[in-house]
Each structure stands twice: as structure tokens, then as C-alpha cells.
Amino acid sequence: MDTIQPEPTSGRQAASPRAPEPPAPPAPSTPPAPTAPESRTRPARQWPKLTLARARSTPRDPERRFLAWLWVATSLLALVLFVVFVPLAATIYEVHLLAAFGTGLALAIPLPLAMRFPKTAVVIATSGILVFALLSSGSDGAPWPWPVTTIIGQAALLFVLGLLGMSWRGMFVAWLAGVVVTLPFAFTDAGATANEIAAASLTAIALPVSLLVAQWRVIAGELFRERAVSAAEQERRVLVEERNRIARELHDVVAHGLSIIHVQATSAPYRVEGLSDAARTEFAEIADSARTAMVEMRQLLSVLRSAEAEAETAPQPGLGELPALVGSVERAGVPVTLDVDPALPAGGLAGTAAYRIVQEALSNVVRHAPGAATHVSVELLGDDLVVAVENEPPPAPVEGEPAPGAEPAERTGGGHGLVGIDERAALLGGRAEHGPRPGGGYRVLATLPLGSDGGQW
């Protein structure tokens, strides 16, 4: 038996630490590495990088959107009330101009301020109502001590407080405070009494309306969260189901290879003459390892396979079955051209994955772009197997027929084929891209490493 000689130590390791290190001889020029066969290094098509737009974006939270619009609406209303109130207070109600500006701010500021500080907004609004009643004087034809702008501002404030979730007790206190501070002025004349009653009635309407709207918002928020949870659960379920299906297919492919190894290792002592006892023992160990691996794979598969799932005993398709697949699609009315690199073997894990990817992409074309010209390409790109399925825009429909969909259903919340394509490529260490083509139509592009077949290529 040949013995393995240890490698000689380098000059740096053998020399004494104090000995001067001799200059290293110049490295000999290495000849250029031999090029790979033409079938593996022929120029490959340069694929454009796709911009993916998978429909996995979560819809924007309606609560945040509602609060943003509410802040904008209250700010605009506050600005309008301030602009209208100041000249009315200074001219009709004979309030000093500076006091008119102050009471106008007290009327307008509480609306946007209630978004963050509701209690402070109530105090400012109530103080502004009281100060205006003290500094103003009634006039013929003008409501006092509650001008129309004050009624609108107070009702809007109570409505905003209800929308933001203030309890009905807090809202009642806010409404009562505005009514109570102006109650003494209601007894000055009949007009003031009528104005006080009208103001109390109109602002009180905002209480039940805001509470009903707030309750509706709570229900809408619960429905939104339920939809989000259901969508997430659906996505997880689809991924798990697709992974289980891929695991079963991989089991069939690997189990086939292990079965061949087991049969060959078991029959080798009977087919090969002159084997030593050590060789026979090694073949027996190989057969036992293959048998153990198959048993463990079946046990793992029994966990993944559902009770109602049927056993998949048929051999898995590969690149050799692509012409038959294309023929069936053409019979469905979709013109397909097929370009397969002849250097690619028909079997292997990558071949099975490529077949399934082409199958799903062509199914999407049949369903969502019937009649669209389609090109299927399977070729080598360096050390990767590149699968591309491109379809043109579907032809114009006949008058009276519905227009075919231009995109797969996955992009509109339908099927799960694109999810399966991504999962198949990822399980083999590759990647998949899909999206609309710049000139119309759709493109599916998958890159599968050749090493995923364990060197069978």
C-alpha cells in the first residue's frame, strides 16, 4: 500500500529564527488555465435585470392615515374660523382688535391642539368663550354671546374629541363647561336666552354623532387587523404547502438515486469476481447506509405528507419532457418556441426544478395571456442553469369577449404559482425574478446553480 509522504516544510518554517531569510526565487510563470469545453463556455444571452414588484406590500395602516387627514382638516377649519371671527368680533361685537385676535386664537387653536392635548384644548376653548362674552356686547341681528363661528368651533372640537376616543363623560364635561360659563349672560335679554338654547342644542348634537363615528372606527380597525392577520396566515400556509410539495418531489428524485446505489452495492459481490473480504464489507456498508438513508427520508416525508395526500410514485419529469409540455400548451392555443441547450442532461434536481418552473410559467400564460406568443429558453450561463419564459402581450380580444389578464393572478391576490417558482429556486440555492416586460407581456427568469445536483452535471 502506498504511503503518504508528509509535505516538506517551507524555508521559513525550517530556518532558525535568527538566520537571515534567503530571498525567495521568482515564481515560475504559470501557463494559462485550459479553457472549458465550448459547450460550457459559449457566449450566453445577457439577461436584463428585472425590477421585482411582488404583491407582498402591506396596505397602509388606516389609523395613521385617518389621523393625518383629521389633523389637516382641523388645521384648515381652525384657519378659516380665525380669519372669519377676528373681523366680526372687532366690528359687529365691538371687541378691541388685540382682544379679537386673542379670542380668535382661543377659538381656532383647540382644534389641532386636541390631537395631542385634549384637556388643554377644552380649557383654552372654554376660556375663549368666556372672555369673548365678557368683552363683547350684543347688537341687533347678531347672535350673542354665542356667535355662529363659536358654535361651529365648539361643535367641531367636541366632534374631534369623540373621534379621538374621549369617554362620553369627558365629552359631556367639555360641552357643559362651555354652556355653564355663558349661562349668566343668557338672562340679559330674550335674544341671549334664545342664542344660549340654540348653542347648547347644536353643540350637543356633536356628542352622539362623534361617539357613533368613533365606534364605527373601532369596528373598522378590528376588521383591518383581522384581514391583515388572515393575509399573513394565508401567505404562510401557501409557503408551507409549496415547500411540502417540493420536499416530496425531492424525496422521489433522491430516493431513486439511493435505490440504485443500494442495488448496485448489494449486487456488486455477485457481479464482480475476485473481490477481497474488505471490499465486500465496504459494499455491504454502502448498501446499509443507502437503506438507512431511504428509511429516514420516508419517515421525514410521512411528517410532511398530509393524510389525504396520494403517494407520488411516478418518475419526476426533467428537461427531456419539455417538448411534450410545449406541445400540450400549443394545443391550448398558445404559440410557444423552445430553445434548450443540447449540452444539458435531461435529469437531475435542477432539471426537475427547471421543468416545474417552465410548467408554472406556461400555465400563467394560458390563464392570463391566452394566445400570446411565448419563448422558452433553457441554457448554460457559466455554472448556472438559466430558465427564461417570456410572453408577448396577448392579442386583442374578439368583440364581445372579455380582455385577458396581462399579469399572473399572484399579482392580484389570486394563485400561488410565482410563490412556488421562488421557493423552488431558493431551495436549490438559486434565485427567481419575474415582472412585466418593458414592451408589454411578462417575463419569468430563474437561475439554478449546477452544483445543486451534487456534481451530476
User: What is the structure's pLDDT at 457?
Assistant: 37
Candidate ranges 115-129, 136-150, 210-224, 438-452; pick with highest mean pLDDT:
115-129
How does the average pLDDT of the chain come out, rounded?
Answer: 77
User: What is the structure's pLDDT at 126?
Assistant: 95
Cα 304 to Cα 245: distance, rounded to the nearest angstrom: 9
Cα four-point dihedral sign 390, 395, 401, 407: positive
User: What is the structure's pLDDT at 120?
Assistant: 95
For 285-296, how does the pLDDT look when each residue is reduced to its tens digit (9 = 90+)?
888 888 888 777
Cα 82 to Cα 102: distance, rounded to the nearest angstrom: 10
Query: Is the entire prediction scored with pTM above 0.95?
Result: no
Least confident of 217-226, 248-257, 396-405: 396-405
Least confident of 18-22, 186-190, 342-346, 391-395: 18-22
User: What is the structure's pLDDT at 251?
Assistant: 67
Sheet with 431-436: list strands edge to edge.
336-340, 374-381, 384-391, 442-449, 431-436
| 432 SS3 class | strand
Is it the case that residue 272 has pLDDT exceeding 80?
Answer: yes
User: What is the structure's pLDDT at 397?
Assistant: 58
Contact 425, 357 (CB under 8 A): yes
Least confident of 79-93, 168-182, 269-283, 373-387: 269-283
Closest CA to 200 of 232, 168, 217, 176: 176
Rg of the chain in Å (alpha carbons) = 40
Is it the case that residue 193 has pLDDT exceeding 80?
Answer: yes
Higher-pLDDT residue of 47 and 342 is 342
Question: How large a percentage of the chain has pLDDT more than 90?
Answer: 32
Contact 197, 242 (CB under 8 A): no
DSSP 8-class letter at 455: T
Is it the case that residue 417 has pLDDT exceeding 60?
Answer: yes
For 36-94, how does the pLDDT look when each residue is reduced to its tens digit (9 = 90+)?
344 344 444 444 443 333 334 344 567 788 889 999 999 999 999 999 999 999 999 98
Rounded alpha-carbon distances, angstroms, from residue 390 to 52, 88, 335, 372: 15, 70, 12, 10
- Domain parsing of the chain, residue ranges: 59-316, 319-453
User: What is the structure's pLDDT at 234?
Assistant: 82
Least confident of 62-66, 173-177, 453-457: 453-457
CA angle in degrees (0–180, nearest 5) for 23-26-27: 130
User: What is the structure's pLDDT at 135?
Assistant: 92
The stretch 208-231 carries a mean pLDDT of 84
Contact 428, 456 (CB under 8 A): no
User: What is the structure's pLDDT at 233?
Assistant: 84
Q: Residue 431: enclosing H or E segment and its boundaries?
A: strand 431-436
Exposed/middle/buried for residue 226 (C-beta within 10 Å: 0-12, 13-18, 19+): exposed
Cα 122 to Cα 52: distance, rounded to the nearest angstrom: 51
Contact 350, 384 (CB under 8 A): no
Longest CA span, the chain: 128
Residue that is written with C-alpha cell 399572473 in the block: 408
Is it the case that residue 17 has pLDDT exceeding 60?
Answer: no
Least confident of 194-203, 369-378, 420-429: 420-429
State the amino acid at position 364 in one-letter form. Answer: N
User: What is the structure's pLDDT at 283?
Assistant: 86
Rounded alpha-carbon distances, angstroms, from residue 179 to 139, 141, 185: 21, 21, 10
Higher-pLDDT residue of 13 and 221 is 221
User: What is the structure's pLDDT at 297?
Assistant: 73
Closest CA to 196 of 131, 144, 157: 144
The stretch 351-377 carries a mean pLDDT of 88
Is it the case that residue 121 has pLDDT exceeding 90?
Answer: yes
At 186, is the pLDDT very low, low, confident or very high (cuts 50, 70, 90)?
confident
Would you list the DSSP string of 235-266? HHHHHHHHHHHHHHHHHHHHHHHHHHHHHHHH
Contact 159, 206 (CB under 8 A): yes
Question: How large a percentage of the chain has pLDDT more than 70?
Answer: 74
Rounded alpha-carbon distances, angstroms, from residue 223 to 42, 162, 219: 57, 20, 6
Query: Is it true that domain 319-453 has CATH number 3.10.20.740?
Result: no
Rounded alpha-carbon distances, angstroms, from residue 130 to 127, 134, 150: 5, 6, 11
Q: Determine if the peptide bond prior to 145 is cis (ω within 30°).
A: yes
Backbone angles phi, psi at 103, to 5 degrees: -70, -30
At 279, is the pLDDT very low, low, confident or very high (cuts 50, 70, 90)?
confident
Reduced to 3 DSSP states, what percent helix, strand and coil does the chain have, rounded to the nearest 5? Answer: 60, 10, 35
Closest CA to 454 of 354, 347, 317: 347
Residue that is written with C-alpha cell 419563448 in the block: 375
At 213, is the pLDDT very low, low, confident or very high (cuts 50, 70, 90)?
confident
Q: How many CB atoms lie within 10 A of CB 302?
A: 8
| 416 SS3 class | coil
